[in-house]
Structure 1
Amino acid sequence: MTTYEVPMMKRKMKDIIKVPGSKSLSNRVLLLAAKSEGTSVVSGVQFSDDTRHFLQSLRDLGYELEIDEKNYQVTVHGCGRDIPKKKATIDVGSAGTGARFLTSFLAFSDGEYEIQCSEQMKKRPMKELFHTLEDLGVSFRYLEEKGHLPIKLRGLFALSDEASSEENELQAEKIAQKTYQLELDISRSTQYLTAWLLTFAGSGVVGKIRVTSEKKTGTYIRMTMDLLKDFGVPVTFDGDTYVVDGREPIKVQDYQIEVDMSGACYFYAAAAILGGEVEVENVRRDLHQGDLKFLDVLEQMGCKVEEGEKGLRLKSPVETNHYVIHDAEGKERQYRFPVLHGVHINMNQFSDQALTLAAIAPFADSVTEITGIAHIRGQECDRIHAIIDNLSTLGIRVEELEDGIRIYPLEEAAYCDRLSITFARQGLNKHLIHTYEDHRVAMSFTLTGLRIPGIVIENPECCRKTFENYFEIWDELQHD
């Protein structure tokens, strides 16, 4: 097992950081470009495990792509409504976007396909999306566990040599149909809805999706709707039903992917707990991404956000506390860290940052309560359990709520001294963070290790899913 030992930062931050493009936007734009009727150049693409699986899946379906990783660019030769290969096997890896988007896309086709995935993705929820396939009459079968990938399917419009003439007549009627209606529960994932919004775009039909869950929308849904409008696809929402007019072809265009706000948040959070300031290139207040709201949380904790030369700049609170901390070897070290305030916040609309806030909450001067995140139990891992497990093992008080967590502040100098004594008694000088192979657990708890000595991240390679050079950036910052 490989590990990454997080070195305590011995300086305030005063850095300009460059992070990759948005994975969420990359996969959405790549699919729309493939469905357009011409050639599109997509710039700022994030190259990571998730996007590489998505790109390879498009290639396995017969799409012609020119990939230039050095310049973060992909040229996509779109095929309109036609998927080049009528029979293929794809592997979406651990990408929830790839799994959901491509399942609905291939279900609404005239081909036969097998969708494989990683062991991690096999455990993630897909049931609600499969219900829509059943409602439409798509023929598919589970290859392993019911309600989960992998599956094999025959697209809604595929005619079969083995089917009876009556069955093929029914298929012909489906092909002639001009409007399709679905009902969908998005309480566990808004990716189900995004999948069908993207599928109906440029499909030649009108798609109507009535959302049956209490949750009707979200930041990622609004991102998708804005993106569809950018590509010339008419889409509306009346508070209950989404309507996509897919009769017009998707507009061919070159597209610049936004910077990945999810990745940027880790560096803003680091400045908040270490002191100083940080600027992340190309982060603007008008980004489509919901994680931009995390900057509002940091402002509530006492930070200040302003326009910088290359992107938004965050400055830590001016007020600081002085700490004398003994490290694992017993050496006395002196630090001044910013005074952050605890917050009570509903993070339902930007829940990817719940882990980030949880990782820095122990350094606040009062209790932090995060709610609206019950659904993160079903993501790459049970993220609420991962937070409680890792904070509790570190000796930090944390309580599980029905839809979130409550985290108590620590007496930092005394805590770190106790930790050093514990390490010494056990003959240890490290504490292992269990990542559960979840990239966001690994990246978030790296922040905790910037202020608590002896933190080691298990399986840092899991960050390849969305942010390949994350730890390289931290190593560079340590030596600046």
Structure 2
Amino acid sequence: MTVTHIPGSKSVTARALFLAAAADGTTTLLRPLVSDDTEGFAEGLGALGYRVERTADAWHIEGRPQGPAADSADVYCRDGATTARFLPTLAAAGHGTYRFDASPQMRRRPLGPLTTALRALGVDLVHEQAEGHHPLTVAAHGIKGGDLTLDAGQSSQYLTALLMLGPLTAEGLRITVTDLVSEPYVEITLAMMRAFGAEVTRDGRTYTVAPTGYHATTYAIEPDASTSSYFFAAAALTGTTVTVPGLGTGALQGDLGFVDVLRRMGADVEIADGRTTVRGTGRLHGLTVNMRDISDTMPTLAAIAPFADGPVRIEDVANTRVKECDRLDACAENLRRLGITVDTGPDWIEIHPGTPAPAEIATHGDHRIVMSFAVTGLRTPGITFDDPGCVRKTFPEFHHVFEEFRHVTA
């Protein structure tokens, strides 16, 4: 059995940084993810005037419930969607003028439903170029609060940003959601808000957030479930056993549900207190699966699908088309490069059994494409990547760790 230690969750780290910055007092984050995305978030907080002190295994954030210390700032959000969506929302609760921009890749990703909602709350916000995209400027003067209707069918991050804003408003927020994707990520948000002292309730698709503010705390970041999916998939593919400690019963992240997909395909899965183990059985069955709620693991499944004994059809993943790249098309493109027959539709992909041949993977600058097809490479030597370094977004040491894993399981 191989025990693999996975870096901290990107999703949890980003939310914790927002909540810590908004809290009254100094918060300590234990074992946060250190990657391009999270460093970009911390750098953005610094530009806004928040104090962030980083040590080897903990970050300390001095919160400011009243908002950014700086009365003006120019914030570069890099490639980070959480940075690009959460920081303008945090700044809107303060007082000052703040400009936000991002990489060309992030500029292409949509922001409109969130900024429309912020405007409905009275936020003075201007998109400088394309409406609904970065760059944008926020002239902040605090937020009264009120009722909102939100379409979060493209990204649950729109809802998460507004939920986290709620305790910082004068009167609280009530948000009615007309559509929602990746709902488990919202459950992460609610649990973490409560850990920082917020009062938030849900009645169907309506969320009510009281204007309580937040209090500082010490918060441990659990391992990243999306990143763990590559190692779980590798075990299922190669007939080996992998255990990820720190991620088990009671985990916040819905992407741990990926192991249930592997179980349906024939792997043995055990989720225990504080750990999850996947053991490959030497077989992978085809299946049809709805991955709307765990869509970040869609590329992981696509990358091992050719080795199943029947077609693998992944449905309800339209939102993967507006990630770092169009992941649905990127998976189809690369599987075809490997000689695999693939069919696609607006929100689905069907992958037929086959024997992948070596080829260069077109990464489109997307970390999840690289890490997913690295798993394919366990059974197909000779796979290469046009931009292997883009894994720095969430797991800078991925290639080193995965190579060690390869040798241990060989």
TM-score by length of 1: 0.82
Equivalent of 2:382, from 440, 446, 454?
454
Amino acid at match of 2:149: E
Equivalent of 2:201, from 211, 236, 242?
236
The structure with the largest alpha-carbon Rg is 1
Corresponding residue for residue 465 of structure 1? 393
Equivalent of 1:64, from 36, 39, 51?
51
Distance in 2 of aligned mates of 1:216 and 1:343: 22
Corresponding residue for residue 109 of structure 1? 94
Is structure 2 residue 148 aligned with structure 1 residue 182? yes
Name the CA shift for 1:183/1:309 in 2 (closer, same or farther; >3 Å): closer
Amino acid at match of 2:399: F
Equivalent of 1:23, from 10, 16, 38?
10
Distance in 2 of aligned mates of 1:446 and 1:266: 8
Residue 236 of structure 1: how far off its partner (Å): 1.0
Distance in 1 of aligned mates of 2:5 and 2:381: 26
Corresponding residue for residue 173 of structure 2? 207
CA contact (8 A) 1:36 1:202 kept: no
Distance in 2 of aligned mates of 1:202 and 1:137: 14
Is structure 2 residue 63 aligned with structure 1 residue 78? yes
Distance in 2 of aligned mates of 1:252 and 1:109: 18
Deviations 1:75-94 (A, max 9, x none): 11112223211111111111
Distance in 1 of aligned mates of 2:407 and 2:118: 53
Corresponding residue for residue 275 of structure 1? 239
**What secondary structure does 1:62 align onto?**
coil
Residue 310 of structure 1: how far off its partner (Å): 6.7
Residue 237 of structure 1: how far off its partner (Å): 1.3
Which structure is richer in relative contact order (CA contacts within 8 A, separation 6 or more)? 1
CA contact (8 A) 1:370 1:405 kept: yes
Deviations 1:281-300 (A, max 9, x none): 21212111011110100110
Residue 307 of structure 1: how far off its partner (Å): 5.4
* Structure 2 residue ranges without an equivalent (≥5): none
Corresponding residue for residue 183 of structure 2? 218
Distance in 1 of aligned mates of 2:368 and 2:389: 12
Residue 180 of structure 1: how far off its partner (Å): 1.6
Amino acid at match of 2:325: C
CA contact (8 A) 2:155 2:181 kept: no
Equivalent of 1:89, from 46, 54, 74?
74
Written as runs of structure 1 = structure 2, the 5 A alignment for 1:311-350 is 311-317=275-281, 338-350=282-294
Corresponding residue for residue 121 of structure 1? 106
Is structure 2 residue 38 aligned with structure 1 residue 51? yes
Corresponding residue for residue 303 of structure 1? 267
Distance in 1 of aligned mates of 2:335 and 2:274: 35
Is structure 2 residue 137 aligned with structure 1 residue 193? no
Deviations 1:23-58 (A, max 9, x none): 100010111111111111110100000000000011
**What secondary structure does 2:201 align onto?**
strand
Tell me how many residue pairs correspond in the alignment: 408
Amino acid at match of 1:262: S
**What secondary structure does 1:111 align onto?**
strand
- Identity, % of aligned pairs? 38
Distance in 2 of aligned mates of 1:88 and 1:82: 13
Q: What CA RMSD, in Å, does the superposition of the two structures yield over aligned residues?
A: 1.7
Equivalent of 1:366, from 290, 296, 310?
310
Is structure 2 residue 327 aligned with structure 1 residue 383? yes
Name the CA shift for 1:310/1:199 in 2 (closer, same or farther; >3 Å): closer
Q: Which structure 1 residue ranges, 4+ long, deviate > 6 Å from structure 2?
A: none
**What secondary structure does 1:351 align onto?**
helix
Distance in 1 of aligned mates of 2:272 and 2:196: 30
Amino acid at match of 2:364: Y
CA contact (8 A) 2:236 2:267 kept: yes
**What secondary structure does 1:208 align onto?**
strand
Distance in 2 of aligned mates of 1:340 and 1:67: 43
Is structure 2 residue 219 aligned with structure 1 residue 255? yes
Residue 209 of structure 1: how far off its partner (Å): 1.1
Residue 145 of structure 1: how far off its partner (Å): 2.1
Distance in 2 of aligned mates of 1:373 and 1:156: 38
**What secondary structure does 2:215 align onto?**
coil
Residue 308 of structure 1: how far off its partner (Å): 7.2
Name the CA shift for 1:310/1:182 in 2 (closer, same or farther; >3 Å): closer
CA contact (8 A) 2:244 2:277 kept: yes
Equivalent of 1:137, from 88, 102, 122?
122
Amino acid at match of 2:191: D
CA contact (8 A) 2:66 2:93 kept: no
Is structure 2 residue 31 aligned with structure 1 residue 38? no
Distance in 2 of aligned mates of 1:122 and 1:222: 27
Deviations 1:111-154 (A, max 9, x none): 11000111110000111112113323322222232221011120
Residue 391 of structure 1: how far off its partner (Å): 0.6
CA contact (8 A) 2:235 2:279 kept: yes
CA contact (8 A) 2:182 2:295 kept: no
Is structure 2 residue 337 aligned with structure 1 residue 393? yes
Distance in 1 of aligned mates of 2:207 and 2:182: 10
Name the CA shift for 1:281/1:85 in 2 (closer, same or farther; >3 Å): same
CA contact (8 A) 2:115 2:125 kept: no
Distance in 2 of aligned mates of 1:458 and 1:280: 29
